[in-house]
Amino acid sequence: MTNSSPLNDDQTAQIIALAMDLARAGKTTELAEFLDHGLPLDVQDGDGNTLLMLATYRGHGQTASLLLDRGANVDLCNARGQSPLAGALFKGEDEIVALLVAAGADLEGGTPSARATAAMFGREHLLP
């Protein structure tokens, strides 16, 4: 007999926290298993960060590619209005910036926008 009872709030929070840690650490294979078992692709933590936001902010291109290939929302901002693209620009993750731009990231979305962030850090050349 299998246990099909739903997870309680604490268990759900623990699973989300574990998945966020996997994205933050670039553990692509392990994160894919969570997604394969039903974790929502655009799940957000208490600060509104998504798996994509955490992977891109830490420069994990393989993890970001997995999420984008599965349809992650490239423009979903966190609770402070920051987009994954602006975060990657801030951190100087040029390869991630190119990946997000190729995925159609909104250059004007978020606060500050990706364009404004690029201007602040002299990275305008990375944007179309």
Confidence class for position 4, pLDDT limits 50, 70, 90: low
Domains (range + CATH), the chain: 9-126 (1.25.40.20)
What pLDDT, on a 0 to 100 scale, did the predictor assign at position 1? Answer: 41
Distances in Å between the alpha carbon of 103 and those of 7, 34, 50, 73? 34, 23, 16, 10
**What is the rounded (10 degree) CA torsion for 68, 104, 57, 125?**
140
Give the tens place of pLDDT for each residue, 109-127. Answer: 999 999 999 999 999 999 9
Is residue 112 reached through a cis peptide bond, with omega within 30 degrees of 0 on the bond before it? yes
Give the tens place of pLDDT for each residue, 89-108. Answer: 999 999 999 999 999 999 99
Task: Give the whole-angstrom CA distance, residue 30 versus residue 19.
Answer: 9
Read off the pTM: 0.92
Q: Are 66 and 32 in contact (CB under 8 A)?
A: yes
DSSP 81-120: S--HHHHHHHHT-HHHHHHHHHTT--SS-TTTTHHHHHHH
Give the tens place of pLDDT for each residue, 21-78. Answer: 999 999 999 999 999 999 999 999 999 999 999 999 999 999 999 999 999 999 999 9
